[in-house]
Amino acid sequence: MDFNQVRYFLALADTLNFTRAAERCYVSQPALTQAIKRLEDELSGELIHRNGRNTELTKLGKTLRGHFEQIDRTRHLVQRTAKAVVEGEIAELNIGVMCTIGPGLIVGLLDAFRMHHPMVSIVLHDVTPDGIPELLLSGALDAVFHARRGLPHSQLRNIRLFEEEMVIVFARGHVFSEMKRVSFTEIGKHCYVDRIHCEFREEFFHRFLEEQIALNVIFRCAREDWIQRLVRDDQGVSLMPRYTILSADVDQRPVDPPLYRTVQLAVPDHSEIKPALAAFLNEAVVHDWPSDRHGTTDAD
């Protein structure tokens, strides 16, 4: 028994006409007839009964039709799977997300990619800024969402996704809720929760020193979820990216002067990338990102 015999039988079961079944399968009628005869010989029983111009399935043919349909579905699945493997559609991507980037916007991209490429699985990894180059260049990660400041790494390519405003975050009912923007001077009047991995951390502290404002740091923490919980419980205020905020129990305002960060997707600057990663990068470029200031999607 082979797949063609199954395909010919199913076409004949649908049409109950040897000529039309042969046309549907793009073979001659004698070739289809001989294939059905060989299949019947293998099964030791008739599948098709011809009575003059009338053709009908035998009891054996009716009984086996569902099994043959399952075999044909398996044939299609095998062919699609083989094609997908050869063309790189079945793969696993290891994607890093820098710890300061909130999941809200990234999940939208992942959902869109999954819809277009359901056979590619994605493993997400939480990464810190300092470890990004080594993880990418060693091959441990395929790409990383990040917002690092400073000069770009010479061996990495960065795709700019969107601009994100930095905001001061505080508990509901805080005095900052009455302001449109919060100055550094006002921030200095309140307890502060220091985000250790903040891209603006050194610049932020330097500005306070320049303006001779004493920043009252009461907690330092690397965990974004802990930081937001501390802010929610009114333990202090904290500067963080707008889309990192996950708690509905906190409020936020832009700072004055304004601060923005550029969220990017970094990949090794290789001449060749695997098809699944190329598809992911393309999805990231065309995705509908927000534009806090002047959203861009140009590659650096």
Q: Residues 2-27: pLDDT tens digits? A: 889 999 999 999 999 999 999 999 99
Amino acid at 83: K
Phi, psi of 279 (to 5 degrees): -65, -40
77 in Cβ contact with 90 (< 8 Å): no
Structure-token pair, residue 270? 């290789």
* pLDDT higher at 233 or 76: 233
Element at 132 (helix H, strand E):
helix 132-137
* pLDDT higher at 295 or 281: 281
Report the candidate in 280, 167, 282 with the shortest Cα–Cα distance to residue 231. Answer: 167
Digit-coded pLDDT (tens) for 18-55: 999 999 999 999 999 999 999 999 999 999 998 777 88
The Cα 31–Cα 279 span in angstroms is 43
Whether the pLDDT of residue 82 is over 80: the answer is no
Over range 105-115, report the average pLDDT: 91
In this predicted structure, what is the pLDDT of residue 276?
Answer: 87
Grade residue 297 by pLDDT with cuts at 50, 70 and 90: very low
Q: Which domains does the chain have, with CATH numbers?
A: 3-86 (1.10.10.10), 91-162+261-286 (3.40.190.10), 163-260 (3.40.190.290)
